[in-house]
Amino acid sequence: MNIVKHGLLFSLSLTQIIMVQGQTAEEIINKHFDAVGGKDRISMIKSIYTESSVSVQGNEAPSTITILNGKGYRLESEFNGQKIIQVYTDRGGWTVNPMAGANEPKSLPEDQYKAGKDQIDVGGPLFDYSGKGNKVELQGREDGAFKLKVTNRDKISTTFFIDPSTYYITKVVMMATMMGQDMEITRSYSNFQKTNYGYVLPFTIDINYGGSFNVTSTVKKVQVNKEVDAKIFDMPK
């Protein structure tokens, strides 16, 4: 009886290994975009605007993100009456951060810009990855999720974790430089909801900055294809 039992367990494990090995990175990526709305629908997105509540060490703050696809990304948050702005465009980036002593607009360092500029694309670095010059490598599974390593033209690597049951991205891990220090940033995604446009987005995002501190963002409102004035991404003079 034990021999039959162990044989059955071995057969099931072997089947699971074959299923994992049988799926290519391309197939997993295609299933992901099918799950969140389809490539055709995503390709018609011109802009995404979100309003969120951000929690940092027990403090709540309003936050907005405006993305003009392929052109610009603008994040605004307000803590204790101080407004923080971070902008990436297809040409460069800038920031205003009074909490870090930068009360006037300041250009982003090149390494920080390269690490964050993928945010101007609403589909992210996986969407049309080969057309963007990105390289994708399937690294098996970790904690049950498919693990995909994406390396862009600037040699910046980001690791995506995709749930095999939903094909949603549940976690993204990358290295970045903050305050002159290299750290691993982990974004965990949950509470997935379909927008009125039919595009599925995570409404809860937990960000861990190298174990130093956590930020939780809860989306309150989403507008797809809202009219956006491209001038909001221009660095004030």
CATH number at residue 139: 2.50.20.10
Work out the average pLDDT over 126-138: 95
Q: Tell me what pLDDT residue 13 has.
A: 44
Residue 1 pLDDT greater than 60, yes or no:
no
Contact (Cβ atoms closer than 8 angstroms) between residue 107 and residue 94: yes
Is 42 inside a domain boundary?
yes
For the chain, what is the domain count?
1
Give residue-wise pLDDT tens across range 169-180. Answer: 999 999 876 666
Q: Rounded mean pLDDT of the chain? A: 89
Q: Tell me what pLDDT residue 19 has.
A: 45
Is 7 inside a domain boundary?
no
| Per-residue confidence band for 159, with pLDDT thresholds at 50, 70 and 90 | very high
Is 52 inside a domain boundary?
yes
Is 15 inside a domain boundary?
no
Is 14 inside a domain boundary?
no
Contact (Cβ atoms closer than 8 angstroms) between residue 64 and residue 76: yes
Residue 11 per-residue DSSP state: H
| Per-residue confidence band for 77, with pLDDT thresholds at 50, 70 and 90 | very high
Is 199 inside a domain boundary?
yes
Give the range among 34-48, 63-77, 109-123, 191-205 with minimum mean pLDDT: 109-123
Structure pTM? 0.87
Q: Tell me what pLDDT residue 198 has.
A: 96
Q: Tell me what pLDDT residue 66 has.
A: 98
Tell me the torsion sign for CA atoms 132, 170, 119, 66: positive
Higher pLDDT, 153 or 167: 167
Rounded to the nearest angstrom, the gap between the alpha carbon of residue 197 and the centroid of all alpha carbons in its chain is 19
Residue 21 pLDDT greater than 70, yes or no:
no
Residue 157 pLDDT greater than 70, yes or no:
yes
CA distance 32 to 149: 15
Work out the average pLDDT over 103-108: 92
Q: Write b or e for each residue in 36-48: b if 16 or more Cβ atoms lie within 10 A of its Cβ, otherwise e.
A: bbeeeebeebebb
Residue 102 pLDDT greater than 80, yes or no:
no
Percent over 70 (pLDDT), the chain: 89
Work out the average pLDDT over 20-47: 92
Contact (Cβ atoms closer than 8 angstroms) between residue 70 and residue 120: yes
Is 81 inside a domain boundary?
yes
Contacts 24+ apart (CB under 8 A), 228-234: 228/46, 228/47, 228/49, 228/66, 228/68, 230/68, 230/71, 230/72, 232/66, 232/72, 232/74, 233/68, 233/71, 233/72, 233/73, 233/74, 233/87, 233/89
Range of the domain at 228: 24-233
Give residue-wise pLDDT tens across range 48-60. Answer: 999 999 998 788 8
Q: Tell me what pLDDT residue 22 has.
A: 60
